């Protein structure tokens, strides 16, 4: 994972596979969960967006997003699926809290993760 970043051609397929694993078999992902979460947060979610600033804020189909923004969407899906996979686990709150905080920040920022990432 260290060699991947959000602009890598294979990032989309890697994130899709990890998201599916997080949802369908969360325990299988747990041995590398911290590494995966750190990668998603540092190399994907907080990567600077390469999309142009749209004059009109309209929803776009996922297929029309540039690779970096698609990777961000899939990264969010991956960490959210991991939370869903832990729904009945005693550690659920520990896993969910940072994800809920991130999602709240995105909502508060009207879709922008931070000033450094320059989404939309």
**Annotated domain spans of the chain:** 11-108
For the residues 91-113, what does the mean pLDDT come to?
88
- Exposure string (b/e) for 27-36, b if CB count within 10 Å is 16 or more? eebeeebeeb
* 28 CB-near residues (< 8 Å, 6+ apart): 21
C-alpha distances in angstroms, 79 versus 51, 53, 100, 116? 23, 26, 10, 21
Residues 28-37 pLDDT 10s: 888 888 899 8
How far is it, in rounded angstroms, from Cα 82 to Cα 22?
5
Residue 47 pLDDT grade (very low, low, confident, very high; cuts 50, 70, 90): confident
């Amino acid at each position: 994972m260290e060699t991947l970043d959000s602009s890598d051609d294979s990032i989309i397929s890697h994130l899709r596979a990890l998201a599916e694993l997080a949802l369908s078999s969360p325990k299988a992902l747990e041995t590398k969960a911290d590494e995966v979460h750190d990668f998603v947060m540092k190399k994907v979610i907080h990567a600077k967006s390469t999309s142009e600033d749209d004059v009109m804020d309209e929803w776009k189909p996922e297929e029309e997003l540039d690779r970096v923004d698609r990777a961000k969407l899939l990264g969010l899906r991956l960490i959210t699926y991991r939370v869903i996979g832990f729904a009945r686990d005693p550690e659920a709150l520990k896993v969910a809290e940072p994800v809920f905080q991130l999602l709240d920040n995105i909502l508060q920022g009207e879709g922008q993760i931070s000033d450094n990432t320059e989404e939309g």
